[in-house]
Structures are given as structure tokens and as C-alpha cells.
A and B are shown apart, each in its own frame.
Chain A
Amino acid sequence: MFILINLFVKQLFKSFLNLVPILAVVLLFQIFIVRQPIPDVANLIIGTLFVILGLTLFTQGLEQSLFPIGDSMAYAFARKGSLFWLLVFAFCLGFGTTIAEPALIAVADEAASIAAQGDMIEHTALAQEHYSLGLRLTIALSVGVAIVIGVLRIIRGWSLPYLIIGGYCGVVTMSFFAPSEIIGLAFDSGGVTTSTITVPLVTALGVGLASAIKGRNPITDGFGLIAFASLTPIIFVMVYGMLI
């Protein structure tokens, strides 16, 4: 028990170190440059303690739960040898986690209001809702496809640099044809798709697959799933912008 508490305290301290820079930036700017008193000191202190506690619990749960789940599922699929089910799982994981992502919902709603102001769609709530939902489905679909491609790459051993360079060339070509209103949004949507729970699961899945399959190196082949997941949404959103 004592060892457990000791470990927990150590982890708490580590999380605290992670937060020091953010606190330093905010405090220094507030004191020396903006030169205004900090509004709510009590909330600031309690909130910071919450963040530290949260990071500690998250790290603990990561090692104990999310990484092992991703690992064991990767091994189970590799042993089962059914490519079809592995790909279905990969697609579901990408699609399911993205469609419910809060950051994406916020961005999609904002994008819909911009589109309405830019006269791309009608000025009704219904049209905006439609547009926003379409956007979310498009992005979720693209993340699903991305994880499928990434898993296929690990299994078949395709070269990651060529695939990524190909993807980037695709993005550049598309951005010549897509309407200019959608381009900023498309590039931003690549960044908001990967949530705090998806990332560890997907990373563990990729690394687990790469270690389970003979002839693959977990470092060279295991990473790269998230790379695709932030590349394909850009392309898909531009296509969506062209079709609408």
C-alpha cells in the first residue's frame, strides 16, 4: 500500500512538472505585460490542482487499460488471421470515435454558419444543420478510411513516406480546385479529429500489429495511423466543398 501511494505521489509530481510551463507563461504575461490583477486566484489554484490530478489518473489508466486493450486486440486479430474483420474493426474505430468528437461538432457548427454567411447554403437553421451533419459524416468517413489504409499498410508493408508524400501531393492538387472558403476549414479539420482516447488506442493497435506480424518493426511500421487520420480529412472536406 505504501509503495502504491509513493508511486502515486511521484506521478503527481511528474504531472505538476508538465503544467509548470503553462502556468509560468500565463503568470509572467499577466504580471509583466498585461499588468492587471489575476481575477480569481482561488479558482485558478483549485483548477490547477484538478488538472494535475486529472493528468495523473489519465496516465495511470493509459498504462493499465488503453494500451493493453489496443495491444491485446491487435494480437487477437493477428492470431485470428481474418483480414476482413480487422479492417471492419479499424473502420469502426475511426468512424465511431470521430463522429462523437466534441471538438469536431464545434468546428462543424461554426463552419455551417460561415457557409451560410458566404451564401454557399441557404440561411435557414435546417440547411445549416444539414451542412454541419454532412461535414461531420464526411470527416468521420475519412478517418475510418484512413485507419483502414494505415492498417493495410502495416500488414502489407507498404512504404509510409511514399504514401504520405502521395497524400500531400493530393492535398496540394485538390486545393487548386476547391472553393477558397472551404480551404482554411479543410486544413483545420485535419487537426481536430484525433481525441484523447482514440490516440492511445490507435497507437497501441498499430504498434501491437507491427509487433505481432513477422518482419515488421514496431518503430518504423507501428506508427503512422494517426498521420493518415489527419491527412485524409483535408482531402475529403475539400471534395465535400466541391460537391455542395
Chain B
Amino acid sequence: MIEYLNHFAQTLLATCRNVLPIAGIIMGFQLLVIRKPLPYPKNTLIGFLYVLLGIAFFLEGLNMALFPLGNLMADQLTSSEFLGINSQHSMNWQSYCWVYVFAACIGFATALAEPSLLAVALKAEDISAGAISAWGLRLTVSVGVAFGLALGTFRIVTGTELYLYIGISYLIVIVQTLFAPNIIIGLAFDSGGVTTSTVTVPLVTAMGLGLASNVPGRNPLLDGFGLIAFACLFPIIAVLGYAKLAEWRSKDRFSSKP
């Protein structure tokens, strides 16, 4: 019990240390430049404590429950026994199908639980007066992350060049941006940036490194990178695509009515 408390205190302390520069900057500007008190100082302070405690609990829980299990599974699923790799003959990419399914599921689930994405989605729902639903946005982004990670693991398995994939996806993003409804563009690109933080990065890194060290002919140091880039890029494509679809559908509805 005491051990738990001790560990939790350490996590809380680390969170406070990470928040310190932000708190300092805000306080500094509030006191020296704006020189006006915050409207509800007490409420704000309590809320800030909630945030600190919340992040500490969140990280502690992840470390206790999900990370060990996720890492273990990433390990088991990419181990040579599970995949049936033997060094004599090389494998084709189909033998790894469970790895792709696992990557997609983990991507979907972690993106859905990501606090930063939750924040952006809540804000979007708030200011669009409900026109953009927080759940809808998070689901769309999660589908994007799932596809991105599946493709990313496929790339590690096949050993194809990263820049080919990135180049093609960038092209798709640019074309989509040109035609997308203006209202969604900022939000789409923002949701690409927030999908990968507290939850996704550690799990995804473990998976990438495990896969790259077990697949014959891959170098974990070179091929392990790049998964996060995929997880950032495909949500943008998913959100832009969904917005375009929604626009088409509503146009159809209007034109079909006499």
C-alpha cells in the first residue's frame, strides 16, 4: 500500500514538474503584461488541481494496467514463435495478418481514449453549437489512426520506403484540402496533431520496435520510426473525407426535395 502511495506521489510530482513552465508563463504574463486578475481565481485554481490530479491518476493507471499488458501483447504477437518464423525461408506479408489487426484495434482504441483529442472535440462541439459532434469527430479520427497504424505495420513488415507512403498520403491530403469545406480544415489538421500523445506513443513505439526486431531483415533503429507519422496523417484524411461525404449527402437531400 505504502509502495503504491509512494509511486503515485512520484507520478504526481513528475506531472507538476512538466506543468511548471506552462504555469510560470501564464502567471508571468497575467501579472506583468495583462495586469488583471482572472475572473474566477478560486474556481480556476481548483480546476487546475483537478487537471494535475487527473493526469497523474491517468498515467498511474496506464502504467499499472494497460502499458504492461499492451507491451506484453505487442511482444507476444510479434514474437517469432507466434508468427512461426524460422530462419530458413523468408515469410510473405500475409503471415502477419494478426499484427495488422492488432495494430488497427490498438490504434482505434487508444485514439478514442486520448485526453487531448477529447479536449479538441469538446471545444469543437461547443463552438459549433452541436453541429460537429464530439463523438463523431473522435470516432472518425480513431478510424484514421487505426488505418494508419495497420498500414504502418505493413510497411515495417514489407520493408518498403517510408517516403513513398508519406509522399502519396501528402498528395491525397493536399488534394482533399483544396476541395474540402472550409469550415472543417483547421479542425481536421488539429485532430491529426493531437492523436498521438500520452496513450498512443508508448504503445505504438513498443509495437514498432518489437516488430522491427523480430521480422527478419529489419533494423529496429531504422524501421522502428515512422509509425507515429502514419498515426498523425491518416486522421486528417479521415476527417476531411468524412466532411466531404457529409457535404455531398446533405446536397443530395436538398436536391432530391422538389
Q: A-side interface residues toward B, CB under 8 Å?
A: 18-19, 21-22, 24-26, 29-30, 33-34, 36, 38-40, 43-69, 72-73, 76-77, 80, 82, 85, 89, 92-93, 96-97, 99-103, 113-114, 117, 160-161, 164-165, 168-169, 171-172, 175, 181, 183-185, 187-188, 190-201, 203-204, 207, 211, 217-227, 229-230
Contacts and interface: CB of A to CB of B under 8 A. Distances in A.
A22 B69 CA distance: 11
A73 B127 contact: no
Given A64-B46, A187-B226, A227-B186, A24 B64 contact: no
Contact of B62 (A18, A47, A61, A62): A47
Interface string B5-22: 000000000100111111
Given A18-B112, A187-B162, A100 B106 contact: no
Contacts of A29: 73, 77, 102, 105
Contact of A50 (B22, B58, B182): B58
22 contacts: A26-B66, A46-B65, A48-B65, A49-B61, A51-B62, A52-B61, A60-B50, A61-B49, A64-B43, A64-B47, A68-B47, A69-B38, A77-B34, A80-B34, A97-B22, A100-B20, A175-B166, A184-B225, A192-B228, A196-B115, A203-B123, A223-B120
A72 to B, nearest CB: 6
Given A51-B66, A188-B229, A223-B187, A36 B76 contact: yes
Interface string B35-54: 01011100111111111111
Nearest to B127: A218
Interface string B112-129: 110110111011100110
B69 A38 contact: yes
B66 A197 contact: no
Given A34-B77, A230-B193, A61 B186 contact: no
A191 B193 contact: yes
Contact of B58 (A22, A51, A169): A51
B189 interface: yes
Interface of B: 14, 17-22, 24-26, 29-30, 33-34, 36, 38-40, 43-66, 68-70, 72-73, 76-77, 82, 98, 102, 105-106, 108-110, 112-113, 115-116, 118-120, 122-124, 127-128, 132, 162-163, 166-167, 170, 173-174, 177-178, 180, 182-183, 185-187, 189-190, 192-198, 201, 221-222, 225-229, 231-232
Contacts of B39: 68, 72
Contact of B185 (A50, A60, A224): A224
A21 B108 contact: yes
B113 A22 contact: yes
A225 to B, nearest CB: 7
A33 B61 CA distance: 25
A160 B186 contact: yes
Contacts of B34: 73, 76-77, 80
Nearest to B128: A219
Contacts of A56: 54
Given A54-B54, A69-B38, A224-B186, A62 B127 contact: no
Given A64-B43, A196-B115, A197-B22, A43 B54 contact: no
Nearest to A230: B193
B109 A25 contact: yes
Nearest to A182: B225
A96 B28 CA distance: 12
Contact of A184 (B119, B124, B162, B167): B162
